[in-house]
């Protein structure tokens, strides 16, 4: 090898070493909080920008599904770079907590801001916004008096009129997990089988389901409330209405899920992560884009926070009191049930 | 040692090492390099396969009684559809533009490569949004013909097959086009002189001679279709690959996902065998260098405009329409832009994506060159077997490779940390992801490099060896310049594929290394199409750069 080639070789090797080790060296930068996030992009950037402006702490996001975040956290063990995980599902958080991947956080601010039923009993994770999965309908073809419960959508009157999200999606899995918790596996299976017998259209996007209702493709559907809010914000005359499910005297209320956040056991920037959660539970509860619930038209967890005017029009409702950490327990059972009943995927 | 003696030695043992006594050399009889490469590449797959030694029979029984038949059926249907579609469209268009003259031919000749820049999942969500019930096409259809006017169900598999065919046909088109171009004009002219019409020349001469290229192109397209999970998910058409991701995500069940992936591995192996069979043992070497281009038959009147219309239709559906829709979305997204949102992360994603894909391309093609070269030097069953092992990864879902890579490097990482306190040196950096990319894209790079090496006559190697050149000299001084186009094509293909790759990137990217693809997929999965259009358009634009280079170099061929 000539000298010139050696130089080139050394340069290239040096570059590779730098590229390979650069991320490892970045771990100790101060005033940073590293988050593994299952929240989709678009709705939280403005809130995190507001947090950085308020505190000077930079938020670094790495995005993935709740499941891949768990896998990654397990694989990385105590060497993870994640200071906190932020998910759209209480199930993933409780699982992470049970596996010892999250640590308890003692904070008076959080104790005050977040009601006890919206956080882990041992304070290993905290809900920061609430989403409700409920019934949506076309007011031209459906009278709200025809609607009542999730179970009622199994009635043959909804044959060829129902739109559902496929079994693959965590929203469907969590909803069916809720039915199992509420009514037992057998009754839940009968309900899901009834939905399937109604020959539903499976559409893998809540927004698209609502647009399909608007276009006349189906009359009723199950979606999260905030997708309708987003569409109503773009077009106040969007022709779909929300119906709160399971509100009767004997019924226990609409199913809730939360997006929540927990500090990892191995967090290097623990204090920054706690500051972020405290901010999320207080100023970050704003009803506009600078808030965690606001940017996404979700319900705040802090009882003192204001409601976004659009979701205020959805009115009062009661929420099923299933403890949030119970949701994760039924996920496997829900997936198996969905497959057994031939629910679309 | 004089040239004469050396030559004599070589003549005496034509396939044995030539230059003796030049210091240390690896023993030539043992294919160390291919063994090493195949070992490193197959280790993740082997470690995953080792978990299969304890098959969960009850799991298989449950899968079979629930979702497996449909997924298997869908996978086979998808492969049949995409295979037939890409072969017909790719070969047909290539023949049209290489052997005929018609209005716009020169333009289409290059422009038909444009869909290479379009990842299937981007095309998927654009088509879904345009053609599903709530989309503008069906809405217009209903307003024209009434509410109950029938419209084909895009969820029945047709949508996914059409989208993937439109996105993947360039693999066949590109290889078929260069095969047709390189066919000596004398062969076709002789055929014509003997009274063979254009159609007959196509079936009897062009197709059989291009068969290795067609098989390679179709195999690439099919493997891509087989590993996709995002596009089929948009169209609610679950395949086995989608099932692997679903088991992984829905059940967090790596073992079950791996078992299902092994089924996919069997399918991929079958596909490889079929492809090898189609390529056959025949090697068509062109004697006398590059001949003149075949004389193009001038099409006239209706046939000329027909040819124009076919090319225009494909180009419109596969590129103009989706890009146009993305641009419209991007314009309205930028119009209603909320400050402090996507622009805060945009530049970073572009940089990440470019760096990851670029390094992946150089690494993968480098290894592929060594591998293909070894395949020529050691013409043994062992080496061709090792080569086949090394190119298996392309047929495996990215998520499975990611799992295998994690299984492979995580113990190393922990050991290194125990010794040196290095933290997550491998899994926390781009090493894991690059490993996965090399495993996954070796087939793309190798096929392209090997196809072009097939054009180098074995007699050239032999002559060089007779003159005392060492194997690496042959690679550098003879094969490399001759296969430069193939190498360039390989670099481009790997770059574009790495940029489009989703599952392995999702699982293995280092912290903070989010890519445009992940960003776009996440948004599109939630129907935030306007927002997704920004990263999606960027992917297409970046993807266009290599495609344009490819178009230019393609001209010289």
Q: What residues does each domain of chain B span?
A: 68-281+291-327, 337-514
Residues of B in contact with A60 (CB under 8 A): 511-512
**Between chains, do A41 and B236 touch, taking CB under 8 Å as contact?**
no
* CB-based contact A40 B425, cutoff 8 Å: no
Of B340, B429, B527, the CB nearest to A208: B527
- Encode pLDDT of B211-244 as tens digits: 888 988 898 898 888 878 889 988 888 898 888 8
Q: Is B234 on the interface with A (CB under 8 A)?
A: yes
pLDDT class of A28 with cuts at 50, 70, 90 = very low
Q: For residue B443, which of B396, B511, B477 has the smallest C-alpha distance?
A: B396
Contact B44, B401 (CB under 8 A): yes
Q: Residue A22: what are its φ and ψ, rounded to 5°? A: -55, -50
Q: Look-up: residue for tokens 């492809």?
A: B275
In which residue are the tokens 């500090």 written? A263
- Looking at beta carbons, which residues of chain B come within 8 Å of A22? 429
H-helix or E-strand spanning residue B550: helix B529-556
Instruction: Please tell me the CATH superfamily of domain B68-281+291-327, with its number.
Output: MetI-like (1.10.3720.10)
The DSSP letter of residue B424 is: S
CA B83 to chain centre: 14
C-alpha to C-alpha distance for B255 and A58, rounded to whole angstroms: 38
Nearest chain B CA: its distance from A40 CA (Å): 6
End-to-end Cα spacing for chain A:
59
Task: Identify the helix (H) or strand (E) that includes residue B441.
Answer: helix B430-455
Please tell me the distance from the alpha carbon of residue B271 to that of residue B445, in angstroms, as a whole number: 18
The pLDDT assigned to A242 comes to 97
- Closest CA relative to residue A198, chosen from A166, A165, A154, A134: A154
> Which fold would CATH assign to domain A31-130+256-307?
D-Maltodextrin-Binding Protein; domain 2 (3.40.190)
CB B182 within 8 A of CB B333: no
Q: Which residue has the higher pLDDT, A13 or B101?
A: B101
From the list B340, B510, B523, the residue facing A45 with the nearest CB is: B340
Nearest Cα residue to A333 out of A175, A201, A222, A166: A175
Which tokens go with B108? Answer: 């289409």
Query: Comparing A34-48, A123-137, A255-269, B159-173, which segment has the lowest mean pLDDT?
Result: A34-48
Nearest CB to A289; choose among B147, B338, B430: B338
> Chain A within 8 Å of B406 (Cβ-Cβ)?
yes
Tell the CATH topology of B337-514. Answer: MetI-like fold (1.10.3720)
d(CA B545, CA B358): 13
**Are the beta carbons of A204 and B233 separated by less than 8 Å?**
yes
Q: What integer pLDDT is reported at residue A113 of this predicted model?
A: 95
Spatial separation of the C-alpha atoms in residues A72 and B504, rounded to whole Å: 12
- B/e letters for A278-300, b = 16+ CB within 10 Å, e = fewer, are bbbbbbbbbbebbbbbbbbbbbb
pLDDT for A12: 56
Task: Give the Å distances, CA to CA, from B8 to A192, B24, B25, B467, B473.
Answer: 81, 22, 20, 10, 19
Q: Tell me what pLDDT residue B9 has.
A: 31
Q: Does B428 touch chain A (CB under 8 A)?
A: yes
CB count within 10 Å of CB A106 equals 8
* Cβ-Cβ contacts under 8 Å, B233 against chain A: 168, 204
Tokens of B48: 């995953």
Measured N-to-C along each axis, helices A170-183 and A185-197 cross at an angle, to the nearest 10 degrees, of 130
Domain positions in chain A are 31-130+256-307, 131-255+319-340
| Pick from A316, A311, A313, A275: nearest CA to A293 | A311
What is the reported pLDDT for B420?
78
3-class SS at B244? helix
Q: Which residue of A has its CA nearest to B363?
A: A16
More confident residue, A3 or A224: A224
Burial of B354 (0-12, 13-18, 19+ CB in 10 A): middle
**Does residue A7 carry a pLDDT above 80?**
no
Using a CB cutoff of 8 Å and minimum separation of 24, what contacts does B68-74 make?
Answer: B68/B243, B70/B238, B71/B238, B71/B239, B71/B240, B71/B242, B71/B243, B72/B240, B72/B263, B74/B157, B74/B232, B74/B237, B74/B238, B74/B239
Q: Does B343 touch chain A (CB under 8 A)?
A: no
Chain B residues 274-303 with CB within 8 Å of chain A? none
DSSP B421: -
The beta-carbon contacts of B16-23 under 8 Å, at least 24 apart in sequence, are B17/B470, B18/B465, B18/B468, B18/B469, B18/B470, B19/B468, B19/B470
Per-residue pLDDT in tens (0 to 9) along chain B, 557 residues: 333 333 333 333 333 333 344 444 444 567 788 888 888 998 988 887 776 677 778 888 888 887 889 899 999 999 999 999 999 999 999 999 988 899 999 999 999 999 988 889 999 999 998 998 888 888 888 888 887 778 888 877 889 999 999 999 999 998 898 888 877 567 777 777 787 777 888 888 888 888 888 988 898 898 888 878 889 988 888 898 888 877 766 566 767 777 787 787 778 778 878 877 877 655 555 444 455 566 788 888 899 999 999 999 999 999 999 999 999 999 988 887 776 667 777 888 888 898 999 999 999 999 998 888 888 777 778 888 888 888 878 777 777 787 788 778 878 887 887 887 766 677 667 898 999 999 999 988 998 888 887 777 778 778 888 888 887 887 778 777 778 878 887 888 888 889 888 878 877 777 667 789 988 988 888 788 888 999 999 999 878 877 887 777 654 43
Q: Which residues in chain B have their CB less than 8 angstroms from residue A337's CB?
A: none
Q: Pick from B238, B252, B333 the residue to mutate for testing the A interface (most A CBs within 10 Å).
A: B252
Residue A24 scores a pLDDT above 50: no
Radius of gyration from C-alpha coordinates of chain B: 25
Sign of CA pseudo-dihedral A21, A24, A29, A35: positive
| pLDDT-wise least confident of A9-23, A233-247, B538-552 | A9-23
- Which residues on chain A are in Cβ contact (under 8 Å) with B514? 61-63
Name the residue in chain B with its Cα closest to that of A92. B252
B417, B430, B528 ranked by CB distance to A20: nearest:
B430
Residues A91-116 pLDDT 10s: 889 889 999 999 999 999 999 999 99
Q: Which of B67, B133, B251 sits opposite A212 (nearest CB)?
A: B133
Q: What integer is the mean pLDDT of A267-273?
A: 94
The distance of B270 to chain A (nearest Cα, Å) reads 27
How many beta-carbon contacts under 8 Å exist across A and B?
Answer: 163
Asked if B134 lies within 8 A of A211 by C-beta distance, the reply is yes
| Residue B56 near chain A (CB below 8 Å) | no
Mean pLDDT calculated for residue range A202-227 = 93
Distance CA A73, CA A80 (A): 6
B337-514 matches B68-281+291-327 in CATH topology: yes
> Confidence band (pLDDT; 50, 70, 90) for A84?
very high
Comparing A31-130+256-307 with A131-255+319-340, is the CATH topology the same?
A: yes
Short-list A70, A90, A100, CA closest to A82: A70
Q: Which residue has the tokens 């003696």?
A: B5
Please state, rounded to an integer, the average pLDDT across all residues of chain B: 81
pLDDT at B15 (0 to 100): 35
Output the average pLDDT for chain A: 87
3-state secondary structure chain A: CCHHHHHHHHHHHHHHHHHHHHHHHHHHCCCEEEEEECCCCCCCHHHHHHHHHHHCCEEEEEECCHHHHHHHHHHHHHHCCCCEEEECCHHHHHHHHHCCCECCCCCHHHHHHCCHHHECCCCCCEEEEEEEEEEEECCCCCCHHHCCCCHHHHCHHHCCCEEECCCCCHHHHHHHHHHHHHHCHHHHHHHHHHHHHCCCEECCCHHHHHHHHHHCCCCEEEEEHHHHHHHHHHCCCCCCEEECCCCCCCCCCEEEEEEEEEEECCCCCHHHHHHHHHHHHCHHHCCCCCCCCHHHCCEECCCCCCCCHHHHCCCCCCECCCCHHHHHHHHHHHHHHHHHCCCCC
Rounded distance between C-alpha atoms, residue B102 and residue B115, angstroms: 22
Distance (Å) from the alpha carbon of B371 to chain A's nearest alpha carbon:
21
When CB atoms are compared, the residue of B345, B424, B518 closest to A76 is: B424
**A277 token code pair:** 């959660």
CA distance A180 to A170: 15
Residue whose tokens read 């009542």: A148
Chain B neighbors of A205, CB-CB under 8 A: 525-527
DSSP single-letter state for residue B528 = -
CA distance B142 to chain A (A): 10
Residue B110 in tokens? 């290059």
A24 closest CB neighbour out of B428, B506, B528: B428
Q: Do B424 and A79 touch (CB under 8 A)?
A: yes
- Would you state the pLDDT for residue A3? 54
What is the mean predicted confidence (pLDDT) over A35-43?
Answer: 76
Portion of chain B with pLDDT greater than 70, in percent: 86
Burial class of residue B148 in the structure, from the number of CB atoms within 10 Å of its CB (0-12 exposed, 13-18 middle, 19+ buried): exposed
B29 SS3 class? coil
pLDDT at A22: 46
The radius of gyration of chain A's CA atoms, rounded to the nearest angstrom, is 23
B142–chain A Cβ distance below 8 A for any pair: yes
Fold designation for A131-255+319-340: D-Maltodextrin-Binding Protein; domain 2 (3.40.190)
Look up tokens 């298997």; give the residue.
Answer: B72
Residues from chain A contacting residue B423 (CB–CB below 8 Å): 24, 27, 79
SS3 B208: helix
3-class secondary-structure state, position B20: coil
**Are A313 and A307 within 8 A, CB to CB?**
no
Q: Alpha-carbon distance B291 to B182, whole Å? A: 7
Instruction: Give the C-alpha separation, A174 to A327, whole Å.
Output: 7
Residue A72 — very low, low, confident or very high, per pLDDT cuts 50/70/90? confident
């Amino acid at each position: 090898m000539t000298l010139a080639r050696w130089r080139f070789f050394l340069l290239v090797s040096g570059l590779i070493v730098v590229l390979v080790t650069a991320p490892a060296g970045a771990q100790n930068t101060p005033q940073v909080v590293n988050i593994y996030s299952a929240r989709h992009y678009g709705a939280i950037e403005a809130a995190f920008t507001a947090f950085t402006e308020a505190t000077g702490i930079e938020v670094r996001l790495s995005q993935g599904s709740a499941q891949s975040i768990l896998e990654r956290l397990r694989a990385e063990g105590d060497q993870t770079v994640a200071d906190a995980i932020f998910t759209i599902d209480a199930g993933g958080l409780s699982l992470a907590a049970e596996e010892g991947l999250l640590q308890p956080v003692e904070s008076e601010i959080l104790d005050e801001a977040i009601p006890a039923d919206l956080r882990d009993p041992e304070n290993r994770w905290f809900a920061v916004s609430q989403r409700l999965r409920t019934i949506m309908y076309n007011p031209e073809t459906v009278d709200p008096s025809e609607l009542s419960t999730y179970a009622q959508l199994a009635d043959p009157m909804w044959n060829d009129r129902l739109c559902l999200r496929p079994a693959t999606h965590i929203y469907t899995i969590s909803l069916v997990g809720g039915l199992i918790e509420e009514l037992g596996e057998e009754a839940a299976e009968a309900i899901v089988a009834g939905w399937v017998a109604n020959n539903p259209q499976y559409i893998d996007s809540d927004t698209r389901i609502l647009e399909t209702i608007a276009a006349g493709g189906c009359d009723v559907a199950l979606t999260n409330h905030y997708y309708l809010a987003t569409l109503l914000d773009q077009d106040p005359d969007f022709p779909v209405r929300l119906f709160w499910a399971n509100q009767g005297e004997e019924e226990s209320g609409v199913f809730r899920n939360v997006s929540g956040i927990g500090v990892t056991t191995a967090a290097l920037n623990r204090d920054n992560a706690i500051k972020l959660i405290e901010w999320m539970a207080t100023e970050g509860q704003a009803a506009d884009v600078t808030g965690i619930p606001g940017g996404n038209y979700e319900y705040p967890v802090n009882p003192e926070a204001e409601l976004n005017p659009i979701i205020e029009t959805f009115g009062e409702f009661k929420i099923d009191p299933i403890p949030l950490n119970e949701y994760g327990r039924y996920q496997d059972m829900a997936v198996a049930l969905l497959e057994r009943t031939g629910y679309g995927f | 040692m004089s040239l004469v003696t050396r030559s004599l030695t070589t003549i005496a043992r034509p396939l044995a090492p030539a230059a003796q006594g030049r210091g240390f050399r690896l023993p030539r009889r043992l294919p160390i390099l291919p063994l090493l490469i195949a070992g490193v590449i197959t280790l993740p797959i082997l470690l995953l396969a080792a978990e299969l030694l304890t098959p969960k029979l009850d799991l298989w029984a449950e899968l079979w009684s629930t979702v497996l038949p449909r997924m298997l059926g869908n996978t086979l249907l998808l492969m049949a559809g995409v295979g037939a579609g890409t072969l017909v469209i790719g070969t047909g268009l290539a023949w049209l533009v290489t052997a005929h003259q018609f209005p716009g031919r020169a333009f289409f000749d290059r422009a038909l490569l444009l869909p290479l820049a379009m990842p299937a999942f981007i095309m998927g969500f654009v088509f879904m949004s345009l053609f599903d019930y709530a989309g503008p096409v069906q809405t217009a259809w209903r307003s024209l013909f009434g509410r109950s006017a029938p419209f084909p169900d895009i969820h029945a598999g047709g949508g996914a097959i059409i989208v993937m065919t439109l996105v993947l046909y360039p693999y066949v088109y590109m290889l078929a086009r260069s095969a047709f171009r390189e066919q000596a004009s004398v062969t076709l002219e002789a055929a014509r002189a003997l009274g063979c019409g254009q159609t007959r020349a196509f079936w009897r001469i062009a197709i059989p001679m291009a068969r290795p290229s067609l098989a390679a192109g179709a195999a690439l397209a099919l493997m891509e279709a087989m590993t996709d999970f995002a596009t089929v998910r948009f169209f609610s058409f679950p395949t086995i690959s989608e099932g692997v991701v679903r088991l992984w995500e829905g059940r967090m069940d790596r073992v079950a996902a791996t078992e299902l992936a092994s089924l996919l591995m069997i399918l991929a192996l079958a596909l490889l065998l079929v492809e090898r069979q189609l390529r056959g043992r025949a090697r068509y070497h062109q004697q006398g260098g590059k001949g003149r281009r075949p004389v193009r038959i001038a099409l006239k009147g209706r046939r000329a405009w027909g040819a124009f219309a076919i090319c225009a239709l494909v180009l419109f559906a596969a590129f103009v329409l989706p890009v146009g829709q993305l641009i419209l979305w991007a314009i309205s997204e930028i119009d209603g832009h909320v400050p402090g949102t996507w622009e805060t992360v945009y530049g970073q994603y572009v940089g990440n994506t470019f760096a990851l894909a670029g390094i992946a391309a150089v690494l993968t093609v480098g290894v592929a060159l060594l591998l293909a070269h070894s395949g020529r030097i050691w013409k043994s069953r062992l080496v061709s077997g090792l080569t086949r092992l090394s190119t298996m990864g392309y047929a495996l879902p990215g998520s499975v490779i990611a799992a295998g890579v994690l299984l492979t490097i995580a113990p190393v990482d922990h050991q290194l940390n125990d010794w040196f306190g290095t933290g997550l040196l491998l899994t926390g950096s781009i090493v894991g992801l690059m490993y996965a990319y090399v495993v996954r894209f070796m087939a793309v790079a190798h096929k392209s490099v090997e196809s072009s090496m097939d054009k180098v006559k074995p007699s050239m190697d032999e002559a060089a060896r007779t003159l005392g050149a060492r194997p690496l000299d042959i690679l550098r001084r003879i094969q490399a310049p001759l296969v430069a186009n193939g190498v360039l094509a390989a670099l481009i293909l790997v770059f574009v594929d790495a940029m489009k790759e989703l599952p392995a990137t999702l699982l293995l990217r280092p912290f903070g290394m989010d890519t445009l693809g992940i960003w776009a997929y996440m948004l599109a999965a939630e129907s935030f199409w306007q927002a997704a259009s920004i990263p999606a358009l960027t992917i297409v634009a970046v993807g266009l750069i290599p495609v344009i280079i490819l178009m230019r170099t393609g001209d010289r061929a």
